[in-house]
Structure 1
Amino acid sequence: MTYSKQQLARQIAEAATLRGEFLLRSGQTSERYFDKYRFEGIPSLLKPMARAMAELVPPETEILAGLELGGIPLVTAISLEMGLPAAFVRKQAKTYGTCRAIEGQDVTDRRITFIEDVITTGGAVKDAFHLAVAEQANVLAVVCAIWRGDGKPQIQGVSQLPVHAVFTKEDLEDGR
C-alpha cells in the first residue's frame, strides 16, 4: 500500500500511540508514548516507513547501523530498500563469541548512518556513537522514525551529529 506522508503519520499514530503515564529512557515522563514495535511489526507500515527513512540517508553512506532493539527491524527494512549492508549496534559489547558491540559488518574506516526508532534526547544514540568511534567508524548522521524531543532534533552530548527525522511528535499528534 502507498501512503502520503500525512496518511502514514495518521496510520503510525493510530497503531503506536498509547496514553497513560510512561517513564522514558531519558528519565522524562510522558502521558503519550509511541510504541514503535506496534508499527515495526506491521509490514504495511514498516515498508513505507523504511522508504521514507531511506530518503533521509546521506548519499555517501556505506553501511546502515541499526541500534538495539527498535532500530533493528528498521535498519533491516531500509537495507532491503536501498541495497546497502546493515550492521547491528548493541548497547554494549557482548562478553562471548566475537565480543563486539557492532555486529554484521566491519565499520572500521567506513561511513555509517545510524538508524533509530524514537529519539527524545538521544542517550542511546550518544552511547552508540562512542562505540562506533571506538571501532574507528565515521558516523555521518542518524535517521529516526520519530523525533519526540523538544525543538530541533539533536543528540545531547553529540550536537555535531545531524539528526534526520521522518516525523516529529507533533506530526503524529496532529495526524499530519
Structure 2
Amino acid sequence: MMSNEQVLDVFRETGALLKGHFLLTSGKHSDSYLQCARVMQYPKKGELLCSELASKIEDAIDVVLAPALGGIRAGHEVARALGARSIYAEREHGKFTLRRGFVLQPGERVLIVEDVITTGGSVKEVIKLAQAHGAEVVRAASLVDRSNGTAQLGVPYTSLLVMSVPAYAPEECPMCREGKIDLVKPGSRDLIKQV
C-alpha cells in the first residue's frame, strides 16, 4: 500500500499539485489544486494510482461509472484493475445522463469513480442517475478526497489520498481580499505555480 506521502510524490513529480487562487467546481475558492489530468497523461503513473485505489475496493463490482470529464480516465483504469466494465456520464442540459449507447441494467453493482472529491456534488448526481436505472451503487471512490473525510455521499466511500485543503466561499476568500493573485478556473488557462 502506498502512503499519502508516496501518492503526493506522484502528484508533485507530474506537476499535478498546484498553488495559486482557484475556482473549484463547487464555486468555492482554494489556494491549492490537484490537476489529476497531469498525472493521467503518464499512463504508467495513472495505472499505478488507479490500481492502488482498486486494491482498496473489496466489493464485487460489475460496472465502474464515472462523471465526465475528470473521472473518465480514473474510472477506466480502476475498472481495468477490477475486471469490470467502464462507462461514464455526461452533462446534457445541465444534468448527468448516459449517452453513447451506455446502459445500466437493473441490479448491476456499480462503483462510482471520480478523480477528486471536494463536496461530492457530481458524485451524488451520478449516484442518483445509476439508481434511477435500477442499478445498485455499492460504493464511491476517488483518487483524492479534498474534504478530509467529511464528504457525505450516501454510499460507502474510499479514496487513495485524503487531504485537508481549505476551500472558501467567495465572500470569505482571503486571496480575494488581498487581491494579489488572479482567480483561475483550472483548465481555462495556464495555471499559477507548481509546488
What residue is the counterpart of 2:122 in the other structure? 124
Task: Using the TM superposition, give the Cα deviation of residue 153 of structure 1 relative to its aligned residue in structure 2, in angstroms.
Answer: 4.1
What residue is the counterpart of 1:164 in the other structure? 158
What does 1:87-166 correspond to in 2, within 5 Å?
A: 87-92=87-92, 101=98, 104-149=102-147, 151-155=148-152, 158=153, 160-166=154-160
Task: Using the TM superposition, give the Cα deviation of residue 108 of structure 1 relative to its aligned residue in structure 2, in angstroms.
Answer: 2.2
Give 3-state SS (helix, strand or coil) of 1:90's partner: strand
Q: Which amino acid aligns with 2:60?
A: E
Give 3-state SS (helix, strand or coil) of 1:11's partner: helix
Task: Using the TM superposition, give the Cα deviation of residue 140 of structure 1 relative to its aligned residue in structure 2, in angstroms.
Answer: 0.8
Consecutive aligned runs of 4 or more in structure 1 exceeding 3 Å deviation: 3-6, 102-105
* Structure of higher CA gyration radius: 2
Task: Using the TM superposition, give the Cα deviation of residue 8 of structure 1 relative to its aligned residue in structure 2, in angstroms.
Answer: 3.1
Contact 1:58-1:141 at 8 Å conserved across structures: no
What residue is the counterpart of 2:44 in the other structure? 44
Task: Using the TM superposition, give the Cα deviation of residue 22 of structure 1 relative to its aligned residue in structure 2, in angstroms.
Answer: 0.4
What residue is the counterpart of 2:35 in the other structure? 35
Contact 1:154-1:161 at 8 Å conserved across structures: no
Q: TM-score w.r.t. structure 1 length?
A: 0.80
Q: TM-score w.r.t. structure 2 length?
A: 0.73
Task: Using the TM superposition, give the Cα deviation of residue 11 of structure 1 relative to its aligned residue in structure 2, in angstroms.
Answer: 1.6
Percent identity of paired positions between Structure 1 and Structure 2: 24
C-alpha deviations, 1:2-27, integer Å up to 9, x for none? x9433332121342111111011112
Provide the aligned C-alpha RMSD in A: 2.6
Unaligned runs of 5+ in 1: 95-99, 172-176
More RCO (CA 8 Å, sep 6+)? 2
Give 3-state SS (helix, strand or coil) of 1:106's partner: coil
C-alpha deviations, 1:32-91, integer Å up to 9, x for none? 111111111111310111111111224222211122111111121122222111121223
Contact 1:145-1:166 at 8 Å conserved across structures: yes
- 2: distance between equivalents of 1:108 and 1:152? 30
Contact 2:118-2:151 at 8 Å conserved across structures: no
Change over 3 Å in CA distance of 1:82–1:60 after alignment to 2:
closer
